[in-house]
Chain A
């Protein structure tokens, strides 16, 4: 396999070379960094032939905040709160990923109450992330109404989580060695209410978008990602599962208390945007099932097993740990030199790998399809740059 490396400048110069033929010319267009449908500051350099996309080159770095570098000067408790700002729609799962890595490396055992609460919160967070994605997908395809409905239901869920956590987006709830606070006395009751509220709303989602022939045709057979390509590019999460590869860390390497819940992993068939749509909608249903099963069995116990301002020191070495966020596998790599700060902290973020699937997906298709395909990838740009 050969890897071709060429700079953006070379590519542009190649295309705009001496071309006097009367035929149409290929040209480059910037999409973003301020384009509303790129969901953030993502810049795509598109090589177009008329309306067809010949190449699509993502350009990154517009929202780089050097989270990894800053973490090198922070103790492990403080590292956690920066992960809120990576993939802000799965902040609790990001917190958990770091905490899990630190706990495994430092040999901290957390009790099962903590694991239960973490799992429940991760699933709630997955639902609210997919709710927002569902609304935004509609908006990207030109239907504004679903966005309002997605946000409406997300608001209800956000309130439930806010009561316990105290924040709505940058949660910073999971700490190495436990949780920031115990669940609120109302929590179990309110989650049950939410499940009762949200089940019928999923059918409403079907009425609004899923059964709409226009949406179906904008997604079906658009942005086909073969399982081989998906694996080659390192795609994970619903993007990989949409292509028919049944890989979900929650099933394959269970962490938390996922092994005690009975749930199914939705998998797509041919890997087009329509499959990815279904996988996510189905995941919302499965997450509701998981939460429902775990909710009544939260065992008693402490919510923090380690004193907060005690220094966590990790023995010298390299450690890797991963879990499944709403967008795929988030890996945390820690290189430690026995101090209470990491020598190097690296995140393998799911969106980074998912983003590069855009080009093989969309090559030769129209710009309008690019929007739908990108929306079905559910990218969060701050997670790509970090």
Chain B
């Protein structure tokens, strides 16, 4: 087989009328070898081009602090994320540790990838209204799209700046967000009896209850001790 050197050929087609397209500027196209130049001028310009590039890097080499953007693991203590940063999802709890979620399930319905699962107590015995049982968030499938935060009619969700969420077992990425199972802060305030209100707040652990995959046994994978979460 003879080795031929194929030359790039233009596909044969009649010239195309591109219509009245508005071109305003032609990008400059200066290059050293592209123009007619003597050998001396080419050598000089090439030398200059390369040396100027080296001088640029050298100038930064002398003052490295101007090019450093973040020293991440070192500045961990002082690092502040922007207030709108979308990291871990959290259910807002007030100072008394009460949340505002009425278990209306709007966020569950509008989450694009079913990362939120809400189980509820249909009728709380004290308030007579539905109360949140578990707010399960699947961090492993969440795309941090922020839609749940936006659609919640009671503004009880927020995205925190917490972005260090690596764990050694993916089962740990599915957990409860609520700290107790029970009615909202507002409903609890309406109850006259403080004791009764306290009794409605059943403490909820991060990995408590039938959380899907929560440290459970899988084929060939032993059960995980989720009482001591390893994400500390």
* Interface residues of A, Cβ cutoff 8 Å to B: 19, 21, 23-26, 49-50, 52, 54, 74-75, 77-78, 81-82, 145, 148-149, 152, 155-156, 159, 162-167, 170, 172, 180-181, 184, 204, 207-209, 211-214, 216-217, 220, 224, 226-229, 231-232, 245-247, 251-252, 263-269, 274-275, 278-279, 281-282, 308-309, 360-361, 363-365
Set B23, B53, B84: member contacting A181, Cβ < 8 A: B84
Q: Which residues of A contact B25 (CB under 8 A)?
A: 264-267, 282
Assembled-state Cα–Cα distance A300/B29 (Å):
42
Q: Which residues of the other chain, A, contact B52 by a CB distance below 8 angstroms?
A: 207, 211
Q: How far is the CA of A208 from the CA of B50 in the complex (A)?
A: 8
Mark B55-75 against chain A: 1 for CB-CB distance below 8 A, else 0.
Answer: 111000000000101100000
Pick the contact of B151 from A54, A214, A309, A364 — CB < 8 Å?
A309
The B interface, classified by DSSP as helix, strand, loop or mixed, is: loop
Whether A19 and B84, one on each chain, are in contact in the complex, defined by CB atoms closer than 8 angstroms, is no
**A184 contacts B84, C-beta separation under 8 Å:** yes
Query: Can you name the residue of chain B whose Cβ is closest to the Cβ of A19?
Result: B1
A220-B31 Cα distance, complex, nearest whole Å: 8
Structural contact, B3 and A23, CB atoms closer than 8 A: yes
C-alpha gap A119/B144 in the complex (Å) = 24
B48 to nearest A CB, angstroms? 8
Give Cα A214 to B50, complex, Å: 9
- Chain B residue with the shortest CB-CB distance to A82: B112
Inter-chain contacts of A214 with B (CB < 8 A): 50
Across the two chains, which residue of chain A brings its CB closest to B151? A309
List residues of chain A with CB within 8 A of the CB of B18. 227, 231, 245-247
User: What are 18 residue pairs bridging A and B, where the CB atoms are less than 8 Å apart in the complex?
Assistant: A49-B3, A74-B112, A75-B110, A77-B110, A172-B145, A211-B49, A213-B45, A213-B46, A216-B34, A226-B10, A228-B11, A247-B21, A264-B25, A267-B26, A269-B26, A308-B151, A361-B8, A364-B5
Bound Cα distance A49, B55 (Å): 41
Contact B53 A208 (CB under 8 A): yes
Tell me if B13 is interfacial: C-beta within 8 Å of chain A.
yes
Residues of A within 8 A of B53 (CB): 207-209, 211-212
Q: Is the CB of A268 within 8 A of B86?
A: no
Size band of the B side of the interface?
A: 35 or more
A77 to B151, CA, bound (A): 11
Distance between A32 CB and nearest chain B CB, rounded to angstroms = 23
Known A-B contacts A155-B69, A180-B150, A217-B33; the reply to A279 vs B85 at CB < 8 A is: no
Residues of A within 8 A of B6 (CB): 52, 54, 363-364
- Nearest CB of B to A351, in Å: 21
B-side interface residues toward A, CB under 8 Å?
1-3, 5-8, 10-11, 13, 15-16, 18, 21-29, 31-34, 45-46, 48-50, 52-53, 55-57, 67, 69-70, 82, 84-86, 106, 110, 112, 143-147, 150-151, 159
Closest to B11 in A: A229
Q: A212-B49, A228-B13 are in contact. List 10 more A-B contacts (CB 8 A).
A: A23-B2, A25-B1, A26-B1, A152-B67, A166-B85, A172-B145, A211-B52, A211-B53, A220-B31, A269-B26
A74 surroundings in chain B (CB, below 8 A):
112
The one of A23, A152, A209 that contacts B69, using a Cβ cutoff of 8 Å: A152
